[in-house]
Every structure is written in C-alpha cells, then in structure tokens.
Amino acid sequence: MHASNKGDQPGKAILEMNRTSKFRKIPAGVYVYTFFFLMVALVVVASPAQESSRHVVSRAAPVYPELAKKMHLAGKVKVEVEVNPAGAVTSAKMVGGNPVFETSAINAVRQWRFEPAQSASKGVITLEFAEQ
C-alpha cells in the first residue's frame, strides 16, 4: 500500500495495516482447539441420554445416607440404567449429582422392575433426596 496514493494520509494507511495484523497474531492452534471444542459440544447436545419409555412396575425408595443427615444435604441424583427385556435392571451408574448419594441411589435403582419389552433399553432416572 502506498501512503501518498490519491491523497491518502500516511497515518490512516498505517492504522489500517495494524488493524488487520491483529488477527494474524492468534496461533493456528487456538482455532483448531476452538473448532474441536465446538464440535464436541455439538455432539453432546445432539445425543443426550435416552429417556426410557418403559413404565416402572415396582420401585424401591433410596435410603437417606447418614453422612447426608449429618451435613444436612439434599439434592437430585441422575442414574443411567440398562434394563433387560424381562424388566430387570442390569446396570446402573451415577451420571450426575452429589457423590454422597451415589451408593444409596444405585442400590435403590437396582431393585426397580420395569414392564417387559421386546429388547433391552437404556434410560436416565432422577432421584430426589430431601433432608429427613
């Protein structure tokens, strides 16, 4: 760029060059990392855990843990369960909530029974623990 071309002011030409060079100072790795992070976030949002459409036939209430009583804790716990075609829970793992409630929530959900179905299913159950 020539500063004296068509009456342009020299200061203006330098200012424009500095403005465009700010974008070139960002390392390419930052762009790659940002793109990767956005793609992972998109996949997580696009494929949430399936909610089971099977109805509960019997359920066991979770035991309120002693530590939670002492600490006056309350809250919700999300447990991902796999249910076989007969309706029995084959696996359960906590996917959200306070770890103090984990053992109690998983032990309770493993005792639940669902209506029979053609195939196994997977879902997320939310249990609420309130101070007693």
Q: What domains are defined for the chain? A: 5-46 (no CATH), 56-129 (3.30.2420.10)
What is the model's pTM?
0.59
How far apart are the C-alpha atoms of 117 and 131, rounded to whole Å?
36
How far apart are the C-alpha atoms of 21 and 18, rounded to whole Å?
5
Q: 59-95 pLDDT, tens per residue?
A: 999 999 999 999 999 999 999 999 999 999 999 999 9
For residue 83, the SS3 value is: strand
- Check: CB of residue 130 under 8 Å from CB of residue 61: no
How far apart are the C-alpha atoms of 22 and 31, rounded to whole Å?
14
Say yes or no to pLDDT of 111 above 50: yes
24-33, 42-51, 105-114: least confidently modelled range: 42-51
Pairing of strands 113-114, 56-58: antiparallel
- Mean pLDDT of the region 21-38: 53
